[in-house]
Structure 1
Amino acid sequence: MDALTLAAQMLEDQAHRGDPVENARAFWREHGRPEQHTPSGAWNVWLILAGRGFGKTRTGAEDLADHMTAEPGSRCAIVAPTFADARDTCVEGESGLLAVLERYGLEQDKGLRWNRSEGLLKLDNGSQAKLFSAEKPARLRGPQHHRAWVDELAQVVKDAPDAWDMLLFGLRLGQHPRVVATTTPLPVSVIKELVQRQDRDVVLTRGSTYDNAVNLAGPALEQFRERYEGTRLGRQELYAELLDDVPGALWMRSWLDDHRVQRCPELTRTVVAVDPAVTSGEDADETGIVVAGQGVDGRYYVLADRSVRTTPLDWAGRVVAAFDDFEANEVVIETNQGGDALATLLRQIRPNLPIRQVHAKKGKRVRAEPVSALYEQGKVSHVGSLPQVEDQLCTWVPEQVESPDRMDALVYSLLYLSTGGSAQAFLEALAGRR
């Protein structure tokens, strides 16, 4: 074949190939399963509750790639439990955003620029995707977005209860900003709320591991069936069932729901309990601030959860405000990490503030078990809904992960009330001798 004929053939081949972006979209329409295609309609959240291996990552990456190429100048967010998850799975993984964009004819320095240390991907058309994580949820304050993809939403909100809200506050660019949430289900309040909103502004897609069996290794599927079929873990991780209670957790949802009230009787004693963050700043752990009281009927009432992630001076001010708002009798504060300095900080704001300092020496299970028993006996009521601390209670499994700060503050408040406010009895309870 002479050079002229070869050139003509190459031009003809290029014409047949067409636009690589449209070809990539056509490829996904043909090869993606119907439930993986971005739904039509006026939805705000597309929630994908699916088992391991369903293709959640590929689905989120395809949606984001399509949006970024179709809408030049788009600002997008990718949120995952950790920065490494967002980088290694959502962007650089086999089914991640870079792999999808490669089919669009884009690659490093040829249509896109990927800065893995900053977690920022930019396209030549002006669109960009920035990585965020539950490790530093405060990074979601401020940035605005047209579209977002949250991978493993249930774990994100479990690790950082305010991350979802911070994301939604910034989802305000363009005519119709939207979020795609891909997750294996956990019984957290955000997931339950979104499921209840299906057919309103939420599109719910459910799927199991076996829906994608054609793309998964046969031996792996066989092992899944042999080891997990019929088990609770298999129901959650393979079939994506939303199960209410977590095995090994010290609290059950029914204990909270069965005794929930909208108002409480007159209280004989009220405390504000504080579990301070070890570090300070917007990306620190939360400072647990929980208000509880004992009623004239002898029952215990959890009145408010004012936990916050902020600076020491700010949370100290919030503690004093809670003390005033609920006309509390005492502040109970854990001082393992900060010692007398924490009490001094509070007294800088209110010099005569009555403070009971707690120095816990025993494991958190020892402290939590008697409070869990109060719930099981039906002696505790939550006043209204306290979703974030309730999620922590019902998903914490001792010895598996560190106990969360909201839960710790609640435990201190009820342990103190249940020992009658006696310093000696309270200290004995903390030491596991009661």
Structure 2
Amino acid sequence: MHELVETRQAGRISLVAATAADARDTRQGKDVVVTRGSTFENQANLAPTFLAAVRQRYEGTRLGRQELNAELLSDNPGALWQMDWLDRDRVSAAPELRRIVVAIDPAVSNNEGSDETGIIVAGVARDGQVYVLEDGSGRYAPHEWAAKAIDLYRSYKADRILAEVNNGGAMVEATIRALDPRVSFKAVHASRGKVVRAEPIAALYEQRNVHHVGGFAVLEDQMCARSRRILIAQRSATHPIVSTRWCGR
């Protein structure tokens, strides 16, 4: 079967994945062919005045890379995270970790239109570098996300489960304790907005202090699509990464 995807709208991570332009896609060169055509390849069919005008306006800009040079850009310029950072510092295995946590950001409901419950496993090494080990996020009923978090806590021999409790209050801890009263649990009360909490974590990524162990396609697409405006209005699986700042405590 052959499929043709034609676009001039870049900056769409899902499209990058579909065309194997993302370096993580192992199909490149096997069953996916990417063909690009720049504006300049078609200049014989364009009015000189038009060509001069668009070059003057867009050449050398990000939009020009997309519209003139036919680059399929995978980054969102307004996002707190960039895919290049994640790929640059990705590792295949974590070193010995001195502390591991399972962080949860529970959704307030679990119907079809609900937000995900974010569940992230992360650890900190002896040199202070942070490693994201697993993304267990999804749409769960309360007993389901509690069971998922406990399973990860046990399988990674984690030191603690962290949970943001602004929405659920004591219910979050009670749900976990009902399944296993012996787990080490700490509630995280967010006193500041999502952007204020997320920006220092994004800075750690930019400074090469956070590494993803393997690939987390859904999580990473969410991270790199989240602008400051969207982060204010919407929860996502990225929020437990904010809570992993407690790793070293």
Does the pair score TM above 0.5? yes
> How do residues 10-89 of structure 1 correspond to structure 2 at under 5 angstroms?
42-43=1-2, 45-48=3-6, 50-51=7-8
Contact kept? 1:46, 1:205, Cα under 8 Å:
no
Contact kept? 2:16, 2:74, Cα under 8 Å:
no
Name the counterpart of 2:24. none
- For the pair 1:192 / 2:17, whether they are aligned, the reply is yes
Partners of 1:336 and 1:240 in 2: CA distance: 45
| Cα deviation 1:324-355 (Å, max 9, x = unaligned) | 11111111111121111121111111112222
Q: 2:239 aligns with which of 408, 412, 423?
A: 408
Deviation, structure 1 residue 317: 1.1
Partners of 1:229 and 1:245 in 2: CA distance: 18
- Report the secondary structure of 1:265's partner residue: coil
Name the counterpart of 2:185. 355
- For the pair 1:322 / 2:147, whether they are aligned, the reply is no
Deviation, structure 1 residue 248: 2.9
Q: 2:58 aligns with which of 219, 226, 229?
A: 229
Name the counterpart of 2:102. 272
- Change in CA separation of 1:299 and 1:351 when aligned onto 2, cut-off 3 Å: same
Partners of 1:249 and 1:337 in 2: CA distance: 25
Name the counterpart of 1:377. 207
Deviation, structure 1 residue 185: 2.9
Partners of 1:240 and 1:335 in 2: CA distance: 46
Percent identical: 42
Q: Which amino acid aligns with 2:180?
A: R
TM-score by length of 1: 0.48
Partners of 1:302 and 1:329 in 2: CA distance: 15
- Change in CA separation of 1:400 and 1:280 when aligned onto 2, cut-off 3 Å: closer
> How do residues 17-416 of structure 1 correspond to structure 2 at under 5 angstroms?
42-43=1-2, 45-48=3-6, 50-51=7-8, 184-188=9-13, 191-196=16-21, 197=27, 200-202=30-32, 225=54, 229-230=58-59, 231-233=61-63, 235-236=65-66, 241-401=71-231, 402-413=233-244, 415-416=245-246
Segments of 5+ residues of structure 2 without an aligned counterpart are: 22-26, 40-49
Contact kept? 1:396, 1:403, Cα under 8 Å:
no
Contact kept? 2:102, 2:161, Cα under 8 Å:
yes
- Change in CA separation of 1:344 and 1:190 when aligned onto 2, cut-off 3 Å: farther
- Change in CA separation of 1:228 and 1:309 when aligned onto 2, cut-off 3 Å: farther
- Change in CA separation of 1:238 and 1:280 when aligned onto 2, cut-off 3 Å: farther
Segments of 5+ residues of structure 1 without an aligned counterpart are: 1-41, 52-183, 210-220, 422-434
Contact kept? 2:99, 2:124, Cα under 8 Å:
yes
Deviation, structure 1 residue 206: 5.6
Q: Which amino acid aligns with 1:411?
A: V
Deviation, structure 1 residue 284: 1.7
- Change in CA separation of 1:337 and 1:403 when aligned onto 2, cut-off 3 Å: same
Question: In the comparison of the two structures, how many residue pairs are matched?
Answer: 233
Higher Cα radius of gyration: 1
Partners of 1:228 and 1:260 in 2: CA distance: 37
Contact kept? 2:10, 2:74, Cα under 8 Å:
no
- Change in CA separation of 1:271 and 1:199 when aligned onto 2, cut-off 3 Å: closer
Partners of 2:154 and 2:29 in 1: CA distance: 43
Contact kept? 1:260, 1:384, Cα under 8 Å:
yes
Contact kept? 2:13, 2:75, Cα under 8 Å:
no
Partners of 2:70 and 2:142 in 1: CA distance: 40
- Report the secondary structure of 2:115's partner residue: coil
Contact kept? 1:47, 1:205, Cα under 8 Å:
no
Q: Which amino acid aligns with 1:284?
A: S
- Change in CA separation of 1:346 and 1:282 when aligned onto 2, cut-off 3 Å: farther
Deviation, structure 1 residue 307: 0.7
Partners of 1:377 and 1:203 in 2: CA distance: 34
| Cα deviation 1:67-110 (Å, max 9, x = unaligned) | xxxxxxxxxxxxxxxxxxxxxxxxxxxxxxxxxxxxxxxxxxxx
